[in-house]
Structure 1
Amino acid sequence: MAPIRIGCLKLLLCFSAFLSLLLLWCQLSQESGVSGEGWSWAFPFSAFWGNGVDFSSLFSGDLPEPLCQRGQVLMILVTSHPAHLEHREAIRKTWAAPGGAADYTWKVFFLIGHTVDRDLEWHLQKEQGAYGDILMGSYVDTYRNLTLKVMHGIKWAVDRCRPQYILKTDDDCFVNTDRLPTFLAQHNPVKTGLYVGSAFSRDKRVVIRDSSSKWYVSHGEYGLESYPPYASGIGYILSLDAARAVLRMAELVSPIPVEDAYVGLLAEKAGVRLLSSARFAKHNIKWSICNYRYLMVIHRLSPQDQEIAQDSVRRARTTCLGNKEVTHWK
């Protein structure tokens, strides 16, 4: 009888250990998620857990932090290369410029990392003095550090500014600030747990293992062969609660050098579902004037194209009044 009792005791101990691990897993899921769906069992534990983002190391004292008004409807974070002064100037003169008495408050900030070019660093100092809209991180500004740049921006926005919604975009994108803040405040049907953008199809989510590609990710950085659903980095919106959940996951999940895929991974782990929307256009084609009553973000604009797009927005205010307003994301 003794061997049987020992065997039963071992079985009971194993079951207790498994149950403890399961309860801990569920507790972490509830603390990090916003939709209450918990963790996905489809992914191995080791594929996601490691050294998360060290947020304290991302902040730099070289440039004074920009000031922000707390509780605005929308904050727009624009990733920009230090040398892209022309891009930033074009944005400031077009869709980042305040358009009179806005019904719903919003603000644009540029995310920039360090440069080893001393002349360029000096110009950035002058630019910040003139506009006060640059958030500089402690990391060197490279494409492989884009993930750190975006995590830094979201962390700063959540901790310092607490907007209702955060839009991350790039400096070669046009944002329809004439319509987006009002849409978010009046028509957006998803007030919490919002993560919306242009989703990639399954075949576009395959992890690139070619070391010559700028999107290369090694097996050590990410063990699976495809990413969970994620929105293109041209532009995606997070509600404040969803951004907080993503940041909590970032403290636990090792970053990968593909920014938009990493945000999608964090959202998936936090239980935040991606909402795909055609209002985020990956390509800049010959849009009709009335398309600017619908589109919120358009990719691949030169600095010269920004003024053309902004003019189309202005013309759409009167030219397309007979068109029915679209009040959903699809």
Structure 2
Amino acid sequence: MAQVHPLYLKGLICVSILLSLIPLWCLLVMTDDVQRRWQLSSHFFLLQGNLPRRSRLQALDGTRRGVDFPSLFTSSQTAPHCEPGQLLFILVTSAPGNSEPRQVIRRTWAAREGPTPYQWQSVFLVGQTADVGVTQEIQREQREFGDLLVGNYLDTYRNLTLKVMHGFKWVAERCQPSYILKTDDDCFVNTDRLPEFLQEHNTIKTGLYAGSLFPREKRQVIREPSSKWYVSRQDYLPAEYPPYASGVGYVLSLDAAQRILWAAERVHPIPVEDAYVGILAQEAGIRVKSSARFAKHNVRWRLCNYRYLMVIHHLSPQEQEVAKGNMLRARRACRGGLEVTKWK
């Protein structure tokens, strides 16, 4: 067998080394945008491109990128009007096609029943859709009601985190209410009690983050890729989330929302909205307060429960109508009972 000349062998080694360095060189000269597109996505999608994630180079030194807030705002949609300094601002997450739930909310708990000393407002949070008909309906709703905040992200369940962060950023900077309530469009909000409670009875004026907490066994991070709550170890390494309030409804004081937004610029987002808010609260040094006033389940509540409960989850449009009637009847029928004035 012929022997390989040493110079030839040395040349082959050099060529192999050069070829192995080409991918690294390409990564180094890529723009940030190209790097983001090159990497695997985390099921977050903006209207154009993927949500910024850690690049391979960033992962080497352990730094992370938080929410890219500027990319969530779109100039093509008119934002709702708000009066700065209101007592309460209610952000309602809603899918673009959920026009019926929005209409029901407008005529039930979001409707004003005469003059009130407590100033509050509600706005629906929606994203983008490829359905032209639904997009036109959203535009029509906005012209008629002016209560839709449309963000620059595809409206999917996995993008709920972007939806809520967009809403927080907008309301904290533009409207600056004393308190913010985040809820969903299948929830009933007791607007007859909550503003009064916040003004007259709430003693936690700063650092407030209150809602219905999940028990520890419900805070395990789901690693099954087929689950809609799937979070990879790359996106969140711990096996358990810190204590957090259910996304059906939680209240933040303005300063707490601002501190959470500060943390969101530094903490990598995950596609589980309420857990992500809990992670941000921990990062910002805010302790979540457990409150039974936020009901994760809709049961046969008694009339006078409507003098205590602030948010009830999972109501049909018909049940929203019934709940509003109970809320108004409880105003007079239950005033003689002992008033609970604490979050518990």
SS where residue 126 of structure 2 aligns? strand
Amino acid at match of 2:121: K
Query: Are 1:273 and 2:287 matched, yes or no?
Result: yes
SS where residue 248 of structure 1 aligns? helix
Q: In structure 2, what is the equivalent of residue 208 of structure 1? A: 222
CA deviation after TM superposition for structure 1 residue 86, in Å? 0.4
Query: Given that residues 78 and 169 in structure 1 are in contact (C-alpha distance below 8 angstroms), is that contact kept between their aligned partners in structure 2?
Result: yes
Amino acid at match of 1:265: I
Query: Are 1:147 and 2:161 matched, yes or no?
Result: yes
Q: In structure 2, what is the equivalent of residue 262 of structure 1? A: 276
Structure 1 unaligned regions, length at least 5: 1-45
Structure 1 residues 307, 49: CA separation in 2 closer, same or farther (over 3 Å shift)? farther
Query: Are 1:88 and 2:107 matched, yes or no?
Result: no
Structure 1 residues 49, 259: CA separation in 2 closer, same or farther (over 3 Å shift)? farther
Q: In structure 2, what is the equivalent of residue 245 of structure 1? A: 259
Q: In structure 1, what is the equivalent of residue 119 of structure 2? A: 105
Give the whole-Å Cα distance in 2 for the aligned partners of 1:303 and 1:220: 40
Q: In structure 1, what is the equivalent of residue 241 of structure 2? A: 227
Q: In structure 1, what is the equivalent of residue 70 of structure 2? A: 56
Q: In structure 2, what is the equivalent of residue 35 of structure 1? A: none
Q: How does 1:132-143 map to 2 (within 5 A)?
A: 132-143=146-157
Q: Deviations over 1:142-172 (max 9, x none)?
A: 0010000000000000000000000000000
Amino acid at match of 2:270: I
Q: Give the total of aligned pairs.
A: 285
CA deviation after TM superposition for structure 1 residue 63, in Å? 1.6
SS where residue 291 of structure 1 aligns? helix
Query: Are 1:304 and 2:318 matched, yes or no?
Result: yes
Structure 1 residues 102, 52: CA separation in 2 closer, same or farther (over 3 Å shift)? same
Give the whole-Å Cα distance in 2 for the aligned partners of 1:111 and 1:49: 30
Give the whole-Å Cα distance in 1 for the aligned partners of 2:230 and 2:280: 19
Aligned equivalent of 2:299, options 267, 285, 297: 285
Q: Deviations over 1:224-247 (max 9, x none)?
A: 100000000000010000000000
Amino acid at match of 1:220: Q
- RMSD, matched Cα: 1.2
Q: In structure 1, what is the equivalent of residue 211 of structure 2? A: 197
Q: In structure 1, what is the equivalent of residue 179 of structure 2? A: 165
Give the whole-Å Cα distance in 1 for the aligned partners of 2:221 and 2:167: 25
Amino acid at match of 1:306: Q
Give the whole-Å Cα distance in 1 for the aligned partners of 2:244 and 2:140: 37
Q: In structure 1, what is the equivalent of residue 137 of structure 2? A: 123
Aligned equivalent of 2:191, options 177, 183, 189: 177
Q: Which one has the largest radius of gyration?
A: 2
Give the whole-Å Cα distance in 2 for the aligned partners of 1:62 and 1:280: 36
Q: In structure 2, what is the equivalent of residue 23 of structure 1? A: none
Q: Deviations over 1:282-325 (max 9, x none)?
A: 00000000000000000000111111000000110111122111
Structure 1 residues 271, 182: CA separation in 2 closer, same or farther (over 3 Å shift)? same
Query: Given that residues 49 and 254 in structure 1 are in contact (C-alpha distance below 8 angstroms), is that contact kept between their aligned partners in structure 2?
Result: no
Structure 2 unaligned regions, length at least 5: 1-59
Give the whole-Å Cα distance in 1 for the aligned partners of 2:186 and 2:271: 20
SS where residue 207 of structure 1 aligns? coil
- Relative contact order (alpha carbons < 8 A, sep ≥ 6): 1 or 2 greater? 1
Q: How does 1:67-82 map to 2 (within 5 A)?
A: 67-82=81-96
> TM-score, normalization: structure 1?
0.85
Give the whole-Å Cα distance in 2 for the aligned partners of 1:66 and 1:101: 21
SS where residue 148 of structure 1 aligns? helix
In percent, how many aligned pairs have the same letter?
A: 61
SS where residue 150 of structure 1 aligns? helix
Give the whole-Å Cα distance in 1 for the aligned partners of 2:63 and 2:156: 25
Query: Given that residues 49 and 253 in structure 1 are in contact (C-alpha distance below 8 angstroms), is that contact kept between their aligned partners in structure 2?
Result: no
SS where residue 327 of structure 2 aligns? helix
CA deviation after TM superposition for structure 1 residue 49, in Å? 5.2
CA deviation after TM superposition for structure 1 residue 329, in Å? 0.1
